[in-house]
Amino acid sequence: MKIGLFSINFGVCGNLEAMISVAKAAEQAGLESVWTAEHVVLPDPRVPPSPSEPQTPFFDPLIALSHIAAHTSQLRLGTGIIILPQRNPVVLAKELASLDVVSRGRLIFGLGAGYLEPEFRAIGAPFEQRGAVTDEAIEVLRTLWTMEKPIYQGQFFSFAGINAQPRPAQKPYPPIVVGGRSLLGARRAVRYGNGWYGFRTDIEATKLCLGWMNDYIAKGERPAELGEMEISVTPPFPVSKDVVRQYEEIGVHRLIYWFDARTLDDALRFVDKLGALVSS
């Protein structure tokens, strides 16, 4: 089981020095990866289903991970997740490829379709069409990363006669991890993802989503070139060997623990606890 750490770019780690300290500690403790969250804006005042108070500092995921890359050497760098339909995929393709190059091939690209309507409205992104935009944006990214002469014609994005360098360090591109706890999210992961990310999914919810994905695979919806899916979960349970065992038994490959620390010292103690789990 791979062990990762969620929330490296907000909350306590919304402070630059704290973010770097926690990332360095995670690498030293033997953790496999650190993961960002993303919210460009948050509703003020907070209204459901907003996940955080509007005053919560969120570093941009790619800027945060680029900075972490400069202070670490082996730690994998995951976006958990980037809200893809809020981004221009042509610009994002350049940003992600650049991060993969400067980190020497350590990026894991996690994406989702999003759910916070006020955020979409503020950005000017299409909330009602977010699923279709997400699917097309993934195709745009892969086109720009792999085609010698990229060309794409879609409903939302179209281009030809262009090119973009650098290409990602990882070939054919960084692992694409699709987040989502719905049937549509499961299908998107099967059709487009190297992996799936279940955020705060307990054992039963994870098994349900895995069942959906296995059904789609059995129906022939997974392209053969994508290979086996890597399953990542942020569990809602405390850190323990028993929790790791339970998730491992149902086919999970990576647990990305969320630390809700109030201070840097609390965060560093949590990293040490995860490190003990890795070495046990």
Q: Encode 249-272: b = buried (16+ Cβ within 10 Å), e = exposed.
A: eeebebbbbbbebeebeebbebbe
Could you report the per-residue pLDDT of 39-53, keeping only the tens digit for each? Answer: 999 999 999 999 999
d(CA 186, CA 31): 27
| Residue 106 reports pLDDT greater than 90 | yes
Determine the average pLDDT of the residues in 76-104: 98
How many CA atoms lie within 13 Å of 109's alpha carbon, on the beta-carbon side? 26
Q: How far is CA 14 from the centre of its chain?
A: 18
Is the Cβ–Cβ distance between 213 and 179 less than 8 Å?
no
Is the Cβ–Cβ distance between 50 and 40 less than 8 Å?
no
Could you report the per-residue pLDDT of 185-210, keeping only the tens digit for each? Answer: 999 999 999 999 999 999 999 999 99
Q: First CA to last CA across the chain, in angstroms?
A: 12
Interior angle at CA 8, CA 123 and CA 180, nearest 5: 55
DSSP structure class, residue 56:
-
d(CA 67, CA 97): 15
Q: Give the pLDDT score at 125.
A: 98
Structural domain boundaries in the chain: 2-279
| Residue 61 reports pLDDT greater than 90 | yes
Q: What is the pTM of this model?
A: 0.98
CATH architecture of the domain formed by 2-279: Alpha-Beta Barrel (3.20)
- Provide the mean pLDDT of the chain: 97
Cis peptide before 61 (omega within 30 of 0): no
Determine the average pLDDT of the residues in 21-44: 98
d(CA 155, CA 132): 9
Residue 280: pLDDT band by 50, 70, 90 thresholds?
A: confident
Is the Cβ–Cβ distance between 133 and 114 less than 8 Å?
no
Could you report the per-residue pLDDT of 241-266, keeping only the tens digit for each? Answer: 999 999 999 999 999 999 888 999 99
Q: How far is CA 57 from the centre of its chain?
A: 18
d(CA 260, CA 141): 33
| Residue 142 reports pLDDT greater than 90 | yes
